[in-house]
Chain A
């Protein structure tokens, strides 16, 4: 799967300017592979009423999503990230037809979600990390049986899909347990299975790994990867956990204040955020800060160990050679920037601009 999507990604990488314009240029590449999810200038404005006194209300408009445009092709696995209140969940809700956009054009599999919500429901699967779609007081298997009939899934297909999910998500021992007695990780696996019994073409996951322990996270991620690779299911996930993105998504969309700030491969995100790598050098003895060539600079000194920051896009070779020539070098290592700080930097810059 990685190879197939990589090829479509390369065109985007070369022109990854990192800003919303990338999204528009996607439209051109999207013409090659027909867009499965299509947003064009989508807006969502909420009326917020606030009490300002007895019977007095103040009306205010909040733009949760502000002119969002992007396309997702069939079989893509896209990470959708941004801070709290950036408009991630609102976007997912519009894509599933739960919310009606205030403006713009939105299509999923050619269907307008808010107008044909129930028709679309047969073709999409949704997992909300914070709330379950399962019937709380009933054994897990009852929820699945109900899905079977509600979605009119053919018997053979239902059994095949259920068996597969039960095996891969290790649900066998949980089927007879009431959902309310399941742990968070167990429930999440149960929810993912429930969303996939009707063979959806696209799976939306809103915070699928929130609150899960390391083992559960790994299980969920592994399952999603296989699902995308083997079945070609399009996956769109929102998350706060950047490891989800690193391990799963070939494409990342960053949203803030309802606008697309970045759309492209994960690697391009570093450039967009003008992130820096860190060179850690161990010298023979304590020395004053290294006089490094611009734009590299020492950011920290601790005994014989010094930390130098330099642009992620620059090569480390020249810098290393220079230091090795001028200083008594014992050991060194290069640290990649973590996306978290990259994104934090992007937000900070935007707020400053």
Chain B
């Protein structure tokens, strides 16, 4: 009996811990689960090296396509190769970070369909953290490394008059961009609670989005650029910051200061995605499967 009350007390203490901060709790759980996947990946180092290289090579082909295009033309939508490489680098690193962190969320639909999401709901940590960390794939670093290499190349050859503002904007844009892509991943996953086979829709916005951002806005139809600015604000990942750094005209004639809004846009996107996630999870909990 004493044992039982002791267990109750321990459980209540842990319960208080949960209330202390769901975010802290979620980050901790994410770290635990991701850490375990990393350890298990590292048990097979050769396999890890090969898959990471494969990831690197696959994404590198994207850039090879751009290089091939530039072997025929001197500019794309008025942007030179180093400038496009700069766009590419910003987009690829931002997306790579988001993909590395929570890319496995696109598999949520399958979990909803086969009911294995239930097993996550009976654990004492936020479901979002569990889904995000599930099958954490360190091999996705390959994409980040490839993006960083292209970005490094662009910075070396692009010829910019660097100012403090421009230098500061670089890391800010990368992190904000990762935040915006994370929000897209979460929102797309939330949508899968309703439409369980919508992972392709989510891919269109995530993988499709990053591919679009690798090209200057001028090559796209105006409506698409508007959509990418005001509906799914991917333009804030690289188009706007890059326009500021490279001193190019802004898409849609936006004012100059918007180049510094990505952190705010990212925060707003994450908040909205969080709400969408809660609504999605609630609909699951009342509908069931």
Q: What residues of chain A have their CB less than 8 Å away from a CB belonging to chain B?
A: 44, 46-47, 90, 93, 96-100, 102, 109, 114, 116-119, 121-124, 126, 128, 131-133, 135, 137-139, 142, 145-146, 149-152, 154, 198-199, 201, 231-232
Contacts and interface: CB of A to CB of B under 8 A. Distances in A.
Contacts of B116: 131
Contacts of A150: 29, 32, 123-125
Contacts of B124: 118-119, 121-122, 150-151
Interface range on chain B (Cβ under 8 Å from partner)? 35 or more
Nearest to B123: A121
Nearest to A102: B286
B276 to A, nearest CB: 18
A123 B119 contact: no
Contact of B18 (A44, A100, A118, A149): A118
Given A135-B36, A231-B3, A232-B1, 4 more contacts: A98-B288, A138-B40, A199-B3, A201-B8
Interface of B: 1, 3-4, 7-8, 10-11, 14-15, 17-19, 25, 29, 32-33, 36, 39-40, 114-116, 118-119, 121-126, 135, 282, 285-288
A133 B122 contact: yes
B43 to A, nearest CB: 9
A100 B17 contact: no
A271 B126 CA distance: 47
Contacts of B286: 99-100, 102
A126 B285 contact: no
Contacts of A151: 14, 124
A143 B212 CA distance: 40
6 contacts: A117-B121, A118-B125, A123-B8, A145-B36, A150-B123, A150-B125
Which secondary structure dominates chain B's binding surface? helix
Contact of B288 (A90, A109, A154): A90
B60 to A, nearest CB: 28
A351 to B, nearest CB: 25
B252 to A, nearest CB: 35
A121 B127 CA distance: 12
Given A90-B288, A123-B11, A146-B32, A98 B122 contact: yes
A119 B119 contact: no
A152 B16 CA distance: 12
A114 B125 CA distance: 14
Nearest to B121: A98
A93 B116 CA distance: 13
Contact of B285 (A99, A146, A232): A99
Contacts of A146: 32-33, 36
A160 B76 CA distance: 66
Contacts of A114: 285
A292 to B, nearest CB: 51
A96 B288 CA distance: 13
Contacts of B33: 146
B7 A119 contact: no
Q: Which of B11, B119, B121, B287 has the most CB of A within 10 A?
A: B11
B286 to A, nearest CB: 5
A224 to B, nearest CB: 18
Contact of A133 (B15, B25, B40, B119): B119
Nearest to A130: B115
Contact of A119 (B18, B40, B115, B288): B18
Nearest to B134: A135
